[in-house]
């Protein structure tokens, strides 16, 4: 039986069951058919939207976790590079120190300062004077001098993470994720998040 013949049969059955004219029964069935079709289309659209949102959420999650891992790797690389620099200075007979001004300048242009051993944190010298008069031993070298040696460490891997998104990622989504990833650089919780990822996600 063709679909048209089956439909006509259903119209006759509805007309007989509810004792209504054939035309009214036909109108009711057509209306129900249209509603069912609309509902199916809406359901289909909702499923497609849900699938898209799930995919975007997965992309965002992957990118943020990737950023956290890259930050942890960058932090570890920075620490290794810094320690290597310190060891090089120590082999030269130098003592790596840290510290500096610990308070505000007074009316005479003097401020309190402290110098500590970078490795042991031992206090080596303290005083109150102008910057030019800080007591400084000949074999001390400030840890800040390591900055030049650390310039080669990539501390901003955000671009790498965004570049690794699938090639067909829509530009608007790529831009949004890029903004989220870049924002992590300026938040105190970013390294804590990185450590959490390392502890809980392997």
Which pLDDT value is given to residue 192?
Answer: 65
Distance CA 63, CA 174 (A): 10
Check if the beta carbon of residue 165 is closer than 8 Å to that of residue 59: yes
Which pLDDT value is given to residue 88?
Answer: 92
pTM value?
Answer: 0.52
Q: Provide the sign of the torsion angle of the four alpha carbons 118, 120, 125, 127, taken in this order.
A: positive
Please provide residue 107's backbone torsions phi and psi, each rounded to the nearest 5 degrees: -65, -20
Which pLDDT value is given to residue 56?
Answer: 74
End-to-end Cα, the chain, rounded Å: 61
Long-range Cβ pairs for the range 175-180 (8 Å, 24+): 176/60, 177/59, 177/60, 177/63, 180/60, 180/63, 180/64
Q: How far is CA 180 from CA 63, 69, 111, 159, in A?
A: 9, 15, 41, 12
Which pLDDT value is given to residue 81?
Answer: 84
Which pLDDT value is given to residue 90?
Answer: 93
Characterize the bridge pairing of strands 111-117 and 123-129. Answer: antiparallel
Q: How far is CA 178 from CA 64, 173, 182, 193, 197, in A?
A: 9, 8, 6, 17, 19
51: tokens are 């699938």
Distance CA 190, CA 202 (A): 17
Q: How far is CA 137 from CA 7, 70, 119, 121, 134, in A?
A: 101, 39, 17, 16, 10
Which pLDDT value is given to residue 87?
Answer: 92
Which pLDDT value is given to residue 2?
Answer: 43
CB count within 10 Å of CB 97 equals 22
Return mean pLDDT, the chain.
74
Spans of the chain, pLDDT less than 70:
1-4, 7-8, 11, 14, 18, 28-30, 32-46, 48-50, 131-132, 152-160, 184-202
Please provide residue 116's backbone torsions phi and psi, each rounded to the nearest 5 degrees: -125, 155
């Amino acid at each position: 039986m063709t679909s048209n013949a089956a439909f006509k049969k259903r119209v006759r059955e509805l007309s007989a069951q509810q004792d209504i004219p054939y035309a009214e029964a036909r109108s009711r069935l057509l209306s129900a058919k249209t509603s069912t079709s609309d509902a199916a289309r809406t359901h289909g659209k909702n499923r497609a939207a849900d699938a898209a949102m799930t995919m975007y959420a997965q992309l965002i999650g992957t990118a943020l976790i990737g950023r956290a891992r890259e930050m942890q790797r960058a932090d570890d690389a920075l620490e290794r590079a810094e320690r290597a620099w310190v060891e090089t200075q120590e082999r030269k007979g130098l003592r790596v120190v840290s510290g500096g001004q610990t308070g505000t300048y007074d009316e005479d242009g003097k401020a309190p300062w402290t110098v500590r051993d970078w490795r042991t944190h031992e206090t080596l010298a303290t005083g109150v004077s102008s910057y030019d008069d800080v007591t400084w031993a000949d074999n001390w070298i400030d840890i800040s001098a390591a900055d030049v040696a650390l310039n080669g460490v990539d501390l901003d891997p955000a671009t790498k993470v965004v570049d690794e998104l699938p090639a067909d990622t829509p530009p608007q989504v790529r831009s949004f994720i890029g903004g989220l990833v870049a924002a992590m650089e300026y938040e105190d919780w970013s390294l804590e998040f990185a450590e959490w990822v390392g502890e809980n996600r392997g």
